[in-house]
């Protein structure tokens, strides 16, 4: 991603063609604003930004930012984004989606993308509910919570996305809160600058269907890891922090390490972005390929 320092851009440059149609007060507004701020600050041109999403309220985000975007299938944003990045690794690729999209139907792709470590920032608007389909339990819905699909309380334990990324070799794992827009923008900028696959789980309350994990519920509970001297190079310590839930819930960077992303070692990308490579192979190579069969 941007190697040399570049000039900041105005946030307004990223204003999308239509206004977001989220419910008033939805956490996703904060995520959208923070993302615009982050890319503006990093000086990434709209043409060089690709925002990929799945399906869900949160996954509508690419429609609300001026840049390239793919609004793909429910659960498939992660493979689509990896294909985009490998095809043109000069672009900044950001995935934006929901907890159902990424941790439910898309869980396999997510964990494998972490270990594959292609240079992408994955932002999950984790509202612990299926918003767009009007309020069923998601994989991060707390045990016992009542939803439309669990009217007598959810019997399943939630997954722990940050811990999953941490034990799968994640090279950058963080958590934000859409109630803290500046902190969030800052985390996004760091996640984009990180070379490798970065997971940013964001508490982005659904004000319509999740009456448990609301802004007022989060506010007194969240604290900043970086303010408590957490060692971001200690994976086990990071897992321990990721287990924290209840009275104290950590935000910030759990773990980071220098990494060489897959797109930096892939042999076919050595000569530059794939999309810029000529389509013809040389007659020498053609001959070599044929000779193998003779």
Partner 1 sequence: MPEFTLGVGGAAGEGIASVGDILGKTAARLGLHMFTYNSYQSVIRGGHVWLRLRISDKKVENHGDILTIVIALNQDTADKHTAEIDPGGRLLFNADKVRVDEKALKDGARALPIPVAELLAPFGKVEAISQNTVLLGAAMHLAEIEFATVEDVIRGMFGRKGEALAKQNIEMCRAGYSYAQKNFEPLGLAWKFSRKGRMMITGNEAFSLGAVAAGCRFYSAYPMTPASGILFWMARNGAKCGIVVRQPEDELSVINMAIGAGHTGVRAMCATSGGGFALMTEAVGMAGMLEAPVVCINVMRAGPSTGVPTKTEQADLNQVYGASQGDFPRVILAPRDLLECFDTIPEAFNLAEKYQLPVLIISDLLLSEHRESLDPEALKWDVPIERGAVFPGSSNGQNGFKRYALTENGVSPRSYPGTPGGEHVAATDEHDEQGILISDVFTNPPMRKKMVEKRGRKMEHLAKELPAPVIQGPAKADVTLVGWGSNQGVMREAAEILRGEGVSTNLLVVKYLHPFHTKEVTAILKKAKFTICVEQNFSGQFERHLRAETGLSVDGHIRRYDGEPMEPRQVANEVKEVVHAGSRRR
Ligand X SMILES: Cc1ncc(C[n+]2csc(CCOP(=O)(O)OP(=O)(O)O)c2C)c(N)n1
Q: Which residues bind ligand SF4 (CB under 6 A)?
A: 22-23, 26, 28, 57, 127, 131, 206-209
Rounded-to-integer distance, Cα 136 and Cα 57, Å: 13
By CB under 5 A, residue 127 contacts Mg ion:
yes
Using CB under 8 A, which of 42, 91, 124, 166 touches partner 1? 91
CB of 139 to ligand SF4, least distance (A): 15
Residues contacting 273, CB < 8 A, separation 6+:
87, 88, 89, 90
By CB under 8 A, residue 242 contacts a copy of itself:
yes
Using CB under 6 A, which of 27, 30, 62, 100 touches ligand X? 100
By CB under 8 A, residue 265 contacts a copy of itself:
yes
By CB under 8 A, residue 240 contacts partner 1:
no
Using CB under 8 A, which of 90, 157, 275, 285 touches a copy of itself? 157
210 binds, among Mg ion, ligand X, a copy of itself, none (CB under 5 to 8 A by kind): none
22 binds, among Mg ion, ligand SF4, ligand X, none (CB under 5 to 8 A by kind): ligand SF4
By CB under 6 A, residue 123 contacts ligand X:
no
């Amino acid at each position: 991603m941007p190697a040399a320092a570049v000039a900041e851009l105005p946030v307004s440059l990223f204003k999308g063609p239509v206004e977001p149609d989220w419910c008033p007060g939805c956490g996703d507004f904060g995520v959208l604003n923070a993302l615009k701020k982050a890319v503006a600050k990093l000086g990434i041109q709209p043409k060089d930004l690709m925002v990929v999403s799945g399906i869900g309220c949160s996954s509508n985000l690419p429609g609300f930012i001026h840049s390239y975007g793919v609004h793909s299938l429910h659960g498939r944003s992660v493979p689509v984004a990896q294909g985009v990045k490998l095809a043109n690794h000069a672009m900044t690729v950001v995935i934006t989606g929901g907890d159902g999209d990424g941790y439910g139907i898309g869980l396999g792709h997510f964990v494998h993308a972490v270990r594959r470590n292609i240079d992408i920032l994955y932002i999950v608007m984790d509202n612990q509910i299926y918003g767009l389909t009007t309020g069923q339990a998601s994989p991060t819905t707390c045990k016992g919570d009542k939803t439309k699909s669990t009217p007598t309380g959810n019997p399943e334990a939630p997954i722990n996305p940050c811990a999953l990324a941490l034990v799968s070799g994640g090279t950058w794992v963080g958590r934000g809160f859409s109630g803290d827009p500046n902190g969030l923008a800052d985390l996004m900028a760091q996640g984009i600058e990180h070379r490798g696959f970065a997971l940013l789980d964001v508490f982005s309350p659904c004000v319509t269907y999740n009456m448990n994990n609301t802004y007022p519920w989060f506010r007194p509970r969240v604290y900043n890891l970086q303010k408590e001297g957490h060692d971001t190079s200690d994976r086990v310590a990071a897992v321990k922090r990721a287990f924290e839930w209840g009275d104290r819930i950590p935000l910030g960077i759990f773990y980071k390490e220098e990494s060489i992303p897959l797109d930096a070692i892939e042999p076919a990308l050595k000569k530059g972005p794939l999309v810029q490579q000529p389509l013809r192979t040389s007659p020498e190579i053609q001959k070599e390929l044929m000779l193998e069969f003779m």
